[in-house]
Structure 1
Amino acid sequence: MGKISLQIRTTLEAIEELYTNHPDYTFLLKLKCTSCGEVSDKWHDVIESQTYPGKTGKSENNYIAKCKLCGRENCLDIVQGSNGKYTSDDQGSFKTIVTFDCRGIEPVEFSPSEGWIAKAEESGKVFDNINLTEKEWVEYDEKSQQSVGVYEFESMFISVK
Structure 2
Amino acid sequence: MVNYLLKITAELENLTNLQPQGGCDDPNFSYLFKVKCGRCGEVSQKETCVTLSETVALPAGKATTNLMQKCKFCGRDGTITMIPGQGKPLTDEASQAGKYAPLMQFDCRGYEPLEYIEGTKFDDIDLSAGEFSEYDEKGECPVMISNLRSTFDVVK
TM-score where L is the length of structure 1: 0.88
Deviation of 1:54 after TM superposition, in Å, equals 1.7
Residue 65 of structure 1: aligned partner: 69
Residues in 1 aligned to 2:5 and 2:126: alpha-carbon distance in whole angstroms: 22
Residues in 2 aligned to 1:69 and 1:78: alpha-carbon distance in whole angstroms: 25
Per-residue CA deviations over 1:30-76 (Å, capped at 9, x if unaligned) read: 00111121110111111011111222222211111011122111000
Deviation of 1:114 after TM superposition, in Å, equals 2.6
Deviation of 1:106 after TM superposition, in Å, equals 1.1
Aligned positions, number:
150
Secondary structure of the residue aligned to 2:19 is: strand
Residue 2 of structure 1: aligned partner: 2
1:108 to 110, 114, 130: 114
6-15 vs 89-98, which moves further = 89-98
Matched residue type, 2:91: T
Matched residue type, 2:61: G
Matches within 5 A, 1:137-148: 137-148=132-143
Which structure 2 segments of 5+ residues have no match? none
The structure with more strand, counted as a fraction of residues: 1
2:99 is equivalent to residue 93 of structure 1: yes
Residue 45 of structure 1: aligned partner: 49
Percent identity over the alignment is 36
Root-mean-square deviation (CA, aligned residues, Å) is 1.2
Does the CA contact (< 8 Å) of 2:32 and 2:117 recur in 1? yes
Residues in 2 aligned to 1:116 and 1:72: alpha-carbon distance in whole angstroms: 34
Q: Once superposed, which parts of structure 1, at least 4 consecutive aligned residues long, lie more than 4 Å away?
A: none
TM-score where L is the length of structure 2: 0.91
Residues in 2 aligned to 1:84 and 1:100: alpha-carbon distance in whole angstroms: 15
